[in-house]
Amino acid sequence: MKKLLFSLAMIILAGASFAQFQLNPQIGLTYQDLTPTDQNVSFKGAVGWQLGVDSRIGDRVFVQPGAFIGRNVTAMTTNLSDTIRYENDLIRTNLKLKALVGVRIVDHYQFDLRFVAGPTYDVLLSSDVKGDDQISWNGGDFRKGSFNIDAALGFDMGLVTLEPSVSFGLTRVMNDNITVKDIDSRYLTYGLTLGINFGDDDRRDHR
């Protein structure tokens, strides 16, 4: 993880030497679901939060590295029979490292529309399971990290930036412990962030 953080920091610092550079602190919401695993267990996303910063290096085509802390919640229902049901909340805190590439579809002084996509990596910082005690696995059964493919549309209006996004998990959620090794679920996460653009004036001067 240290190597990933160091590489991300180097990319951002290198980008600061270019005129076409923006820094974008953001805060927002997440809605994290898990793909189905079997007929007895169902998942349903719940609202969580995220905050972090990314940067854009380049003009019409750009790279967008970033790092975000997020708190995600997913409700899980286990049906043992028609009358016996257990409900639990899966709670995770992640550090999401992004390495996205984007293009500005609309590039106007007052309004920008951009599309970004690329790989991300979620580092699991903490996990917990709350609810009924009968669940057979716990927070320690989650993998410590997961690779994803992310895509987003970004809207820039002056100093304000708005970005709805989706993240498709490529890595199994659970680790290889005996009680969870057959659970093949992946993360599916929707996000919405609101932020501020810094360093945008230099880019606009070159249009």
Over residues 31-80, the pLDDT tens digits come to: 999 887 766 777 888 899 999 999 999 988 999 999 999 999 888 877 66
Query: Is-contact 65 8, C-beta < 8 A?
Result: yes
Query: What pLDDT was estimated at residue 182?
Result: 77
Q: Report the alpha-carbon distance of residue 69 to residue 50 in Å, rounded.
A: 6
Considering only CA atoms, which of 164, 24, 169 is closest in space to residue 96? 169
Position 134 confidence tier, pLDDT thresholds 50, 70, 90: low
Q: Which CATH class is domain 2-205?
A: mainly beta
Query: What pLDDT was estimated at residue 132?
Result: 62
Q: Tell me which DSSP letter residue 120 carries.
A: E
Q: Report the alpha-carbon distance of residue 47 to residue 52 in Å, rounded.
A: 17
